[in-house]
Chain A
């Protein structure tokens, strides 16, 4: 620690004096442009360019192998006559609407427990955060397949109690459920944000309330919930957006098919299969833009609804 401290302290005053001279500030501006150039190139070439291209492609018939031909909004109208597309919408909405509330409730509950000042808090915080780092990975999705397989860990555990479990990932009635559990399991990042939010609530409110004789439950409802509501809102928006875009879990757990019987056919997975499997890139591009509209719409609904339940202290 001390070795890194010394140069930092010696450096600090020098930087301040340099910052004060006007000429150098202009020089810094040019340098900033140069240093920003790679980022800007990235934005144009990797994000904005492809986005513009996909918007154009969404109005074309494009098979990747021959140049696209303009067909107008046909891709967009075709979606609503495509039963597999409608099924993918249903699967994805079910996934988001079920897993996000459960995940937020669980992460809030754990944050409340950890906030009570457990010993070795940072240890527990790391342990609970771990699934969030791993949850989106291919390795965990493969593990999930093993755990929920017919001869998997879960069924071996159930067998101890004499219960004959199903092949959870291979039955269309349960496969989506296992993915919801996987998403809920990655509660770590909202939990850490809740934890930070709880620390922000001034202790004096609780002290005043307990002097007035308010119970713990009462304190939670009238102090914690309103003061934490902006954090709940933030987590809700983030998780809804993230869950709509889930891909890896379904891709790996279903072996890239969205099966069994399309029960885990997420929107993004269907988009991918259309684009690269059926070489229908125009349709896939239209789906991508429609997903943007859905996510934008859901976020807008969240923001409008937030007026009625989110409380800002200041």
Chain B
């Protein structure tokens, strides 16, 4: 096969042109700036549909299947709107979202999370949802506030979770230790009970799994003392004493035998519900987000229970709160904000959607829809629903939305807790470092 001269020249020209076009496209993608949120959506003209919107979320296979089912139900009701699914696992999700926003290719509707939402909102990536037609009247105002910043409503909570102590009553019974009254127990009680169970239970069974890697614990302890991890104006609001005490509990549990040694703790911490002490029937207590009770119960094969965190009546107020599990947000750059809003409204308010999703994105934020699915929940999730109904009256307020850069807090907490457990930092030094690193991250 030989090229004739003209054909070769034409092919060369085509190849050259392709390169030039690609290069131009690459430049165009990088240049476009982002306008502040809200501007695009103010008084939108009626949209021309049929239209296509993209919905991105993270999660497990079961969530993907359920979400696809919801999309199908939505499309059946709205034949002129097509929803394109776009899903990944948790860690890949944020890499992908950040790069697609950088490339001006943000999904129309996306799921957001507490630690990142203000990063995205403050940079004009998200639309102010209060300007769109989404019915939020059935969502508790305190919970709805979890998706608000001073500039608007940038996310609508999908559902709620509570940070709580999960216990295995069988291990309490085997060790001959009474299950404490969770309305009155203190942090000292927690350490004492854990140490006692480790001492009385068979070899290799512990009182508690370490809790120090999760900043939610710091937040609850801070709130019990009238502080808060972050203030409403986006500063660090927790004192050095509180953070010191938080790490001290970890250390006391380790020293008293209430939890495994540091290396073992690190290993269990990374092993998820399946590899946790509760999941493997080798621990009596663990502090978890309530939506993990299902996975923990399944792994353990036992009837686990939920308790309030210690110290709820010890300090000046209660510290527990309902955390939005995640948020639905809409891109400020969406071509079809109204169609997107319609879809979010469906996700939030449709009983059909809730029946498919159940509690996979937290216990539904819409209280009416929540009532409707209660009798369809399995035992652990019914327990979660009961538990939340029980603690709801004692909750004072919702913590403010974490400020920009707060995504680093998880990493900071986990690392400093490890330093404390391995004896490389005292709780006091760790607390100092925690505050300075967190201030640098959100500054």
A-side residues, CB < 8 A to B, are 24, 27, 30-31, 33-34, 37-38, 40-41, 44-45, 49, 53, 63-67, 149-150, 166-167, 169-172, 255-257, 259-262, 273, 276-279
* B124→A30 contact, CB < 8 A: no
B residues 1-38 with Cβ under 8 Å of A? 2-3, 5, 8-9, 11-12, 15-16, 18-19, 22-23, 26, 30, 33-34
B8→A31 contact, CB < 8 A: yes
Report Cα–Cα, A31/B9, bound state, in Å.
9
Residues in A whose Cβ lies below 8 Å from that of B418: 172, 259-261
Please name all residues of chain B whose beta carbon is closer than 8 Å to the beta carbon of A256 when the two chains form the complex: 91
In the assembled complex, how far is the CB of residue B114 from the closest CB belonging to chain A, in whole angstroms? Answer: 15
How far apart sit A257 and B266, CA to CA, in the bound complex (Å)? 12
Identify which of residues 412-443 in chain B touch chain A, using a CB-to-CB cut-off of 8 Å: 414-415, 418-419, 422, 424, 441
Given contacts A170-B264, A276-B95, contact A261 B34 (CB under 8 A): no
Check A30–B9 contact: CB distance below 8 A. Answer: yes
Q: Name the distance in Å between A171's Cβ and chain B's nearest Cβ.
A: 4
Rounded to whole angstroms, the CA-CA distance of A171 and B8 in the bound complex is 63
Interface segment, one of B58-66, B96-104, B128-136, B172-180: B96-104
Between A and B, how many residue pairs show CB distances below 8 Å?
Answer: 118
Residues 86-112 (chain B) with a chain A CB within 8 angstroms: 91, 94-95, 98-99, 101-102
Cα–Cα, bound, A167→B263 (Å): 6
Complex Cα distance, B178 from A274, in Å, reads: 47
**Interchain CB contact (< 8 A) of B267 among A34, A64, A149, A261:** A149
Shortest beta-carbon distance from A174 to chain B in Å: 8
Complex CA–CA separation, A41 to B262 (angstroms)? 52
The smallest C-beta distance from B399 to any residue of chain A, in angstroms, reads: 22
Which residues from chain B contact A37 at a C-beta distance below 8 Å?
A: 12, 15-16, 18-19
Show 7 A/B contacts (Cβ-Cβ < 8 Å), sorted by A. A41-B19, A65-B101, A66-B33, A167-B264, A172-B424, A257-B414, A260-B422
List the B residue with the shortest CB-CB distance to A29: B8
Judge whether B120 is part of the interface by a CB distance below 8 angstroms.
yes
* Residue B125 is within 8 A (CB to CB) of chain A in the complex: yes
A256-B92 Cα distance, complex, nearest whole Å = 11
Residue of A nearest to B5 (CB): A27
- Contact call B102/A64, Cβ cutoff below 8 A: yes
B119 interface hit (Cβ, 8 Å): yes
Supposing A49-B26, A63-B123, A276-B94 touch, asked if A261 and B263 sit within 8 A by C-beta, the answer is no
Since A49-B23, A167-B264 are in contact, a sample of 17 more A-B pairs with Cβ atoms closer than 8 Å, ordered by chain A residue number, is A30-B9, A37-B15, A38-B15, A41-B18, A63-B119, A64-B98, A64-B102, A65-B124, A66-B34, A169-B267, A170-B264, A172-B418, A256-B91, A257-B415, A260-B418, A279-B119, A279-B407
Residues of chain B contacted by A38 (CB below 8 angstroms): 15
- A34's contact among B2, B15, B102, B419, by CB below 8 Å, is which? B15
Is B94's CB under 8 angstroms from A150's CB? no
A296 to chain B, nearest CB (A): 27
Check: B411 CB closer than 8 A to any chain A CB.
yes
Give the most central of B120, B123, B424: most A CB within 10 Å: B123
A40 / chain B contacts, CB cutoff of 8 Å: 19
What 7 A-B pairs have minimum CB-CB distances, sorted nearest first?
A170-B266, A37-B15, A167-B263, A65-B123, A171-B263, A261-B418, A170-B267
User: Is there an interface contact between B98 and A261, defined as CB atoms closer than 8 Å?
Assistant: no
C-alpha gap A169/B99 in the complex (Å): 32
Interface hits, B383-410 → A, CB 8 Å: 405, 407-408
The chain A residue sitting closest to B265, CB to CB, is: A170
Query: Do the beta carbons of B263 and A279 come within 8 Å of each other?
Result: no
B410 to A: closest C-beta gap in Å = 9
Are B16 and A27 closer than 8 Å at their CB atoms?
no
Which A residues touch B5, using CB under 8 A?
27, 30
On whether A172 and B415 interact (CB within 8 A), knowing A31-B8, A37-B15, A40-B19, the answer reads no
The residue in A34, A45, A166 that gathers the most chain B C-beta atoms within 10 A of its C-beta is A34
Q: Which residues of A contact B266 (CB under 8 A)?
A: 167, 170-171, 259-260
Bound form: Cα–Cα A166–B422 in Å: 13
Is there an interface contact between A150 and B15, defined as CB atoms closer than 8 Å? no
Q: Which residue on chain A has the smallest CB distance to residue B19?
A: A41
Residues of A within 8 A of B48 (CB): none
B415 touches A262 (CB 8 A): yes
- With known contacts A167-B263, A256-B91, A66–B123 Cβ distance under 8 A: yes
Q: Which of B265, B270, B415 contacts A255 (CB 8 A)?
A: B270
* Cβ of A78 to closest chain B Cβ, rounded Å: 11
The complex places the Cα of A260 from the Cα of B19 at a distance, in Å, of 46
Q: Complex formed: what's the CA distance from A259 to B124 in Å? A: 34
Task: Give min CB distance, A77 to chain B, whole Å.
Answer: 15
Provide the bound-state CA to CA distance between A53 and B22, in Å: 16
The reply to whether B101 and A261 contact each other, CB–CB distance below 8 Å, is no
Note all chain B residues with C-beta closer than 8 A to A277: 94, 407-408, 411
Whether A64 lies near B8 (C-beta < 8 A) is no
> CA separation between A167 and B15, bound complex, in Å?
56
Inter-chain CA distance A256–B270, complex, in Å, is: 10
